[in-house]
């Protein structure tokens, strides 16, 4: 394998959030307004855009996807003793939202094809304490929501979707985040659409809307007061400060107005990668992402699954030595100190372990140039083809 001399300015970053003049213009407009706190004009406009993107009528912006998940657990009245089935291959916020309510995450294995929650694994974990199912749409590829919804209906369970990575993606033509009672989106800088830090709660059960507004507004009925439905507003329930500022919403609006452009640019890069690593996959040294026919993904992540942890780590070092920022993803939560303390893992999770040990994420961002893409492909294939040759030599020796 060759190593390329790389100047600092030639380093390829792992991710860069997209930004254009429109976002900055909106931010300046918000800054010059008399309403820079939450629930202002830009908040309303961003929500209207999200309504159009997701097809969900009732949406609340939040300061983060973490906040949206915590708000969802409050709305679902998750309590001590309840169990919530979820994947271990996810970010800590998914489990934290459950643990903060005194409930227990129960970790299920993922489908190794999609790295999403495996419905068969879910069905085996349902107990009298199970309150809801919490699927995570990994890399903007939808979980098998048809099967999960059928399981939930059969057992009288609710679904909350962690759609942090899934803006603009769908399952059977329906937006991810719109299947469960509630869904959560992320607008962190690492996501396709961002405002630095931000999120949204999708409310698919209209019966939850009134209480959601109260919890969202620090436990007060302020939203009803502003609509003239009550003559004063006061503290009426639990709640917290879940709202983002209108300045953040202004930046977010500019991003949301470009969601198709941003996702299309990401998908084009994703497709270039996918084609470029066909030979490596057919030679058995890695596996490319799999997108079921039922899913329209959004190009959020392009990853390769190597055959073992050593190969993955060596490939990471090879890319770094050649000026390319790549990374692994989650350390499975069931192996984490907090996961062992707060959660339950009734069965082994071999697919989760494989993903945690062997996955490598390649750089992907809308402004990534063709030259940068070609360099990533060339350097990565250098490593992968060396793996192929080493495998071939070992086969000949064994013969």
Average pLDDT, the chain: 95
Q: What is the percentage of the chain residues whose pLDDT exceeds 70?
A: 95
Reported as a single tens digit per residue, the pLDDT across 4-32 is 555 555 799 999 988 899 999 999 999 99
pLDDT at 293: 98
Segment 68-95 mean pLDDT: 98
Structure tokens given for 75: 């709305």
Q: Does the pLDDT of residue 394 top 80, yes or no? A: no
Residues with Cβ within 8 Å of 49's Cβ and at least 6 positions away in sequence, in order, are 253, 256, 257
Reported as a single tens digit per residue, the pLDDT across 95-137 is 999 999 999 999 999 999 999 999 999 999 999 999 999 999 9
pLDDT at 19: 86
Domains and CATH numbers, the chain: 21-256 (3.40.640.10), 259-398 (3.90.1150.10)
Segment 345-372 mean pLDDT: 98
User: What order of strands is seen across the sheet that includes strand 130-133?
Assistant: 58-62, 199-203, 182-186, 158-162, 130-133, 83-87, 104-108
How open is the CA angle 344-350-355, to the nearest 5 degrees? Answer: 100
* φ and ψ of 135, to 5 deg: -75, 150
The answer to whether residues 95 and 339 touch, using CB atoms and an 8 Å cutoff, is yes
Q: Does the pLDDT of residue 391 top 70, yes or no? A: no
Q: What is the percentage of the chain residues whose pLDDT exceeds 90?
A: 92
pLDDT at 395: 46
Structure tokens given for 41: 């004009």
Q: Does the pLDDT of residue 304 top 50, yes or no? A: yes
Q: Does the pLDDT of residue 3 top 80, yes or no? A: no
279 membership: H or E segment, kind and range = helix 278-282
Segment 244-262 mean pLDDT: 97
Largest CA distance in the chain: 86
Segment 284-302 mean pLDDT: 98
* pLDDT band, very low/low/confident/very high, at 388 (cuts 50, 70, 90): confident
Q: Does the pLDDT of residue 397 top 50, yes or no? A: no
Q: Quick one: which of 75, 136, 74, 63 has its CA closest to 101?
A: 74
What CA–CA distance (Å, rounded) separates 44 from 343? 38
Residues with Cβ within 8 Å of 329's Cβ and at least 6 positions away in sequence, in order, are 89, 301, 303, 355, 356, 359, 361
In total, the chain counts a number of residues equal to 399
Tell me the β-bridge partners of 59. Answer: 202
């Amino acid at each position: 394998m060759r190593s390329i001399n790389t100047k600092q300015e030639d380093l390829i970053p792992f991710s860069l959030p997209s930004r254009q003049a429109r976002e900055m213009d909106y931010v300046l407009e918000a800054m010059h307004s008399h309403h820079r706190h939450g629930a202002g004009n830009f908040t309303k406009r961003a929500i209207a855009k999200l309504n159009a993107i997701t097809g969900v009528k009732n949406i609340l912006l939040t300061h983060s996807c973490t906040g949206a998940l915590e708000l969802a657990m409050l709305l679902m009245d998750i309590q001590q003793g309840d169990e919530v089935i979820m994947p271990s291959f996810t970010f800590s916020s998914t489990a934290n939202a459950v643990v903060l309510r005194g409930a227990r995450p129960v970790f299920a294995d993922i489908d190794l094809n999609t790295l999403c929650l495996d419905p068969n694994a879910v069905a085996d974990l349902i107990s009298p304490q199970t309150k809801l199912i919490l699927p995570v749409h990994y890399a903007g590829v939808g979980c098998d929501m048809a099967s999960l919804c059928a399981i939930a209906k059969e057992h009288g369970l609710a679904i909350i979707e962690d759609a942090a990575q899934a803006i603009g993606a769908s399952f059977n033509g329906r937006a991810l985040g719109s299947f469960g009672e509630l869904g959560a989106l992320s607008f962190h800088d690492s996501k396709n659409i961002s405002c630095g830090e931000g999120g949204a709660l999708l409310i698919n059960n209209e019966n939850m809307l009134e209480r959601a507004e109260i919890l969202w507004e620090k436990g007060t009925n302020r939203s009803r007061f502003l609509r003239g439905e009550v003559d004063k507003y006061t503290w009426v329930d639990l709640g917290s400060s879940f709202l983002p500022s209108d300045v953040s919403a202004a930046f977010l609006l500019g991003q949301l107005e470009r969601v198709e452009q941003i996702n299309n640019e990401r998908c084009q890069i994703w497709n270039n990668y996918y084609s470029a690593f066909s030979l490596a996959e057919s030679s058995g040294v890695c596996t490319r992402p799999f997108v079921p026919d039922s899913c329209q993904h959004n190009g959020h992540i392009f990853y390769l699954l190597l055959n073992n942890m050593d190969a993955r780590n060596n490939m990471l070092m090879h890319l770094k030595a050649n000026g390319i920022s790549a990374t692994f993803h989650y350390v499975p939560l069931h192996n984490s100190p907090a996961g062992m303390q707060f959660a339950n893992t009734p069965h082994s999770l071999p697919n989760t372990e494989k993903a945690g040990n062997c996955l490598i994420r390649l750089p992907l961002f809308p402004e990534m140039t063709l030259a940068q893409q070609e360099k990533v492909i060339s350097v990565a294939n250098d490593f992968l083809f060396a793996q192929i040759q080493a495998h071939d030599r070992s086969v000949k020796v064994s013969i």
